[in-house]
Amino acid sequence: MSELISIFENFLNLNIGMVVMWIIGGVLIYLAIAKDMEPTLLLPMGFGTILCNLPLSGAIGEEGPLTVLFNAGIANELFPLLLFIGIGAMIDFEPLLTNPKLLLFGAAAQSGIFITMILASIFFTLPEAASIGIIGAADGPTAIFVANTLLGTDSNITGAIMVAAYSYMALVPVIQPPVIKLVTTKKERQIKMAYSGKPVKKITKILFPIVVTIVAGLFAPQSVALVGFLMFGNLIRACGVLDALSETAQKVLANLITIFLGITVSVQMTADKFLNWTTLLIIALGLFAFIFDTAGGVLFAKLVNLFSKKKINPMIGAAGISAFPMSSRVVHKLGIEEDPSNFLLPHTVGINVSGQIASVIAGGLILNFFG
């Protein structure tokens, strides 16, 4: 009889916080499957949340596999960097290389990081505020890398930062359009832009990642890991002699690391760390980061228009947010809604990839400030 009772003993260790986290995990899984929102990350995160919030869960703790994986790949920032190789291999920088000035829009769209940092500094210490601001990089690996470096693995807010970063990346189609419409007029949204795609030489595509790594590394040495791994992946793609490696990086490596990353970040999402007002505040600040990123890019484009004879559609500035390729498609779709003959995609893709570079540079500069 006592053996029978002992089966139910673990129920005594269950608390309401764990149940709430199950619901949160379930919501993430629902968003991933039913709404197709960043399923590659939200589904593992959702399921991992449930695993970590079962009483006396064997998945976490000193010998728990999730904790082992966390220490092996997230505590030392290895997983985000390996994922960056895959991301770099996926990105085609040709639209950017056709018109390198687009990089400026990517830079402008990182303003949300710093504005959010200012807001967050009211409630948090400066390193914490910077880690929250980096949600605005709209790039999961960068957010994980910077937050872990600045705060360490014992911080109670890294879980909230990771959830905010990945969730808002999936919510770009919801967040950006109202912000864009708020800061632009209908006439501005209808500005047509012609595209004259100049061919880019292969040697340029090969030298580009090397040059970016050197330039960014000289100014922000802390960014060398981030920029370097991203550009390494791109170099594998651009060189043309490593097709097998490029394909492996884009598919096998990226998918493998995504599985580990997604399920392992949930180690930070235990009820005791996650369920507090600070988490809600971080999630709210993360939303501000995306809003200010979008507004920053659009307003910069409007500023350029003041000095430019040939007007640009200011909406394209919003594509400077690093959520690739979603943001470029969102802006292009908005352009078609305003004028079905307006084809903004070539411009927005170029700006979107520039945002990827600029966000990594921003992350490196922030690490430099606090390093």
Partner 1 sequence: MKSTKAIAKLLLTVIISALLLLPVSAFAAENTAPKHTEHIDTTGDGICDIEGCNAALPCTEHTDIDGDGLCDIEGCDKCLTHIDKNSDGKCDRDGCGAKIVVEPVQTTGAKVWESVKIFIIGMIGIFIVVGLIILSIYALNYLINKAQRTKSGEQ
Residues engaged in binding partner 1 (CB under 8 A): 97, 100-101, 103-104, 106-107, 110-111, 113-115, 117-118, 120-122, 125-126, 129-130, 201, 203-204, 207-208, 211-212, 215-216, 219-220, 354, 357-358, 361-362, 365-366, 369
Distance in Å, CB of 219 to partner 1, minimum: 5
Rounded distance between C-alpha atoms, residue 91 and residue 270, angstroms = 34
Helices (H), 185-276: 186-189, 202-219, 224-238, 243-247, 254-265, 271-274
Distance in Å, CB of 223 to partner 1, minimum: 9
Residue whose structure tokens are 């690093």: 322
Decide whether 21 or 115 has the Cβ nearer to partner 1.
115
Distance in Å, CB of 112 to partner 1, minimum: 11
Distance in Å, CB of 320 to partner 1, minimum: 11
- For residue 321, the 8-state DSSP code is S
Decide whether 199 or 340 has the Cβ nearer to partner 1.
199
Would you tell me how many other CB atoms lie within 10 Å of the CB of residue 71? Answer: 14
Decide whether 227 or 249 has the Cβ nearer to partner 1.
227
Decide whether 25 or 363 has the Cβ nearer to partner 1.
363
Distance in Å, CB of 227 to partner 1, minimum: 10
Decide whether 245 or 365 has the Cβ nearer to partner 1.
365
Residue whose structure tokens are 């791994």: 229
Distance in Å, CB of 323 to partner 1, minimum: 18
Three-state DSSP state, 55 = coil
Helix (H) or strand (E) holding 164: helix 158-170
Decide whether 67 or 99 has the Cβ nearer to partner 1.
99
Decide whether 120 or 171 has the Cβ nearer to partner 1.
120
Please write down the long-range contacts of 311-315, taking CB distance under 8 Å and 24 or more positions apart: 311/191, 312/191, 312/193, 312/347, 313/188, 313/189, 313/190, 313/191, 313/192, 313/193, 313/342, 313/344, 313/347, 314/183, 314/184, 314/188, 314/189, 314/191, 315/180, 315/184, 315/188, 315/189, 315/344
Distance in Å, CB of 226 to partner 1, minimum: 13
Three-state DSSP state, 125 = coil
